[in-house]
Amino acid sequence: MKGSSTRVIHEAEGASRTADPLTTPIYQATTFLFESAEEVRAYMQGRSDKFLYSRYRNPTIQSTEAKVAALEGAEAALVLASGMAAVSTAVLALLSSGDEIVCSAAIYGNTLHLLQSVLPRFGIAARFATLEEFARPDGLAGPRTKVVWFESPINPTLRCVDIAAVADACRRRGVLSIVDSTFASPVNQTPLALGVDLVMHSATKYLNGHSDVTAGVLAGSSAIMRRIEPIRRLLGSVVDPVPAYALARGLKTLAVRVARQNESAFAVARWLEQDRRGKRVFYPGLPSHPDHAIAKKQMRGFGGMVCVDLDGGIERASRFFDRLQVVRRATSLGGVESLCSLPVDTSQWGYTDEQLERAGVTRGMARLSVGLEDVDDLIADLDQALNA
Ligand SMILES: Cc1ncc(COP(=O)(O)O)c(C=O)c1O
């Protein structure tokens, strides 16, 4: 009989031979067993589909990746530790010293900082292009450009970029096009079908949808994933099995959540626009939105994000923010809870007046992420908060 320390460590461990779980279990293991040296060698020589080490491949994470690929209509997908892990892993995999990346100037703030402050230290130049330049995509790429990176819809104005037009211009120049599709979710927009090479999401938002997981995803062809996956191993930017499991659970309800969020956000946007206490409402589904035609062309639904410009600057926006009772005061988006944030206090913090003007952002803006509460309660809450 072996000692109790030996027994407690090794007894009854590993996969069950009789349980056939309906859902994919959490393979919370950093490493996987081999029977023999020959089996390890077979793995190293690529003659085995066994799992070796979770930073490389893990069954739970692989199951989540298959679901992401299904939603995006992609050959392959990768799940990473955060949206920013997805951004940084993709750019480090696809760019080399001497290359240029052209990025929309209206982009998630930390993507901008990464491209502007970190990549140049490795000899990769970033050029930021306006939405007007993105509207004439033939002029975007220069001789050194390898990647064009953009977002649609864009935070917080929900401006949209014509994804098919940019993808087409890039393809003709032999440049990779990558879109951050976080605000749309794959329910409302599938950019690969519009011709882009790679789609990225902060899965922290709609994909997980319950404000309790930080993760990011990349989806595209098997060929592009073969370039990115080895870099994920080296950077160690893979997600852990527990958040991968939670994300997979969220993905199964994505379509019903987003359908309801589309409907409620549209109702909130229409109500705000007719109410007139806000100066201007930004929602891609409203005919008054500057990119309504683009949104109609490329989106199946207009999303759960609404932005309202409250005339009266940050003071009025702050009073509105402070009075909210059902809508919670927090940054982030895409969860079941409705959230409000003031762009100048979060995503556009520290911007000068000129930078704000270029981003189309005002000091009176409040951004709403519409959740799954009863829409009448949300509208009643906005109604009383607007009296501020
Ligand atoms: C559009 C967009 N892209 C990327 C990110 C970064 O994602 P994460 O916070 O999961 O790293 C965010 C986060 O707010 C985002 O809104």
Residues ≥6 apart with Cβ < 8 Å to 136: none
- 230, two tokens: 């080895």
Is the CB of 243 inside a 6 Å radius of any atom of ligand 1? no
**Beta-bridge partner residues of 145:** 100
Amino acid at 44: M
Percent of the chain at pLDDT > 90 equals: 94
Q: What is the pLDDT of residue 77?
A: 98
Is the CB of 189 inside a 6 Å radius of any atom of ligand 1? no
Q: What is the pLDDT of residue 182?
A: 98
Is the CB of 214 inside a 6 Å radius of any atom of ligand 1? yes
Nearest to 333 by CA among 300, 364, 371: 371
Q: What is the pLDDT of residue 317?
A: 97
Residue of the CA atom closest to atom 6 of ligand 1: 83
Q: What is the pLDDT of residue 214?
A: 98
Is the CB of 334 inside a 6 Å radius of any atom of ligand 1? no
DSSP annotation of 154 reads: P
Q: What is the pLDDT of residue 359?
A: 86
Interval between CA 112 and ligand 1 midpoint (Å): 11
Q: From the CB of residue 134, how many other CB atoms can be counted at a distance below 10 Å? A: 23
Q: What is the pLDDT of residue 191?
A: 98
For a mutational test of ligand 1's pocket, the pick from 84, 150, 183, i.e. the residue with the most ligand atoms closer than 8 A to its C-beta, is 84
Q: At what angle do helices 254-275 and 375-385 cross, to 10 degrees?
A: 40
Q: With b meaning 16 or more CB within 10 Å and e meaning fewer, what string describes 95-109?
A: beeebbbbbbbbbbe
In angstroms, the CA 69 to CA 71 distance is 5
Summary count for the chain: helices (H), strands (E): 15, 12
Amino acid at 276: R
Q: From the CB of residue 142, how many other CB atoms can be counted at a distance below 10 Å? A: 12
User: CA quadruple 280, 284, 286, 287: dihedral positive or negative?
Assistant: positive
Cα 230-208-19 angle, rounded to 5 deg: 80
Interval between CA 72 and ligand 1 midpoint (Å): 18
Interval between CA 67 and ligand 1 midpoint (Å): 20
* Tens digits of pLDDT across the chain (388 residues): 999 999 999 999 998 999 999 999 999 999 999 999 999 999 999 999 999 999 999 999 999 999 999 999 999 999 999 999 999 999 999 999 999 999 999 999 999 999 999 999 999 999 999 999 999 999 999 999 999 999 999 999 999 999 999 999 999 999 999 999 999 999 999 999 999 999 999 999 999 999 999 999 999 999 999 999 999 999 999 999 999 999 999 999 999 999 999 999 999 999 999 998 999 999 999 999 999 999 999 999 999 999 999 988 999 999 999 999 999 999 999 999 999 999 999 988 988 898 888 889 999 999 999 999 999 999 999 999 999 7
> Is 108 among the residues known to form the active site?
yes
Q: Residues 54, 60, 62, 68: what is their CA dihedral angle, to the nearest 10 degrees?
A: -130
Cα 258-261-264 angle, rounded to 5 deg: 155
What are the backbone dihedrals phi and psi of residue 282, each rounded to the nearest 5 degrees, phi first?
-110, 115
Q: What is the pLDDT of residue 350?
A: 86
> Is 67 among the residues known to form the active site?
no
Cis before 156 (ω within 30): yes
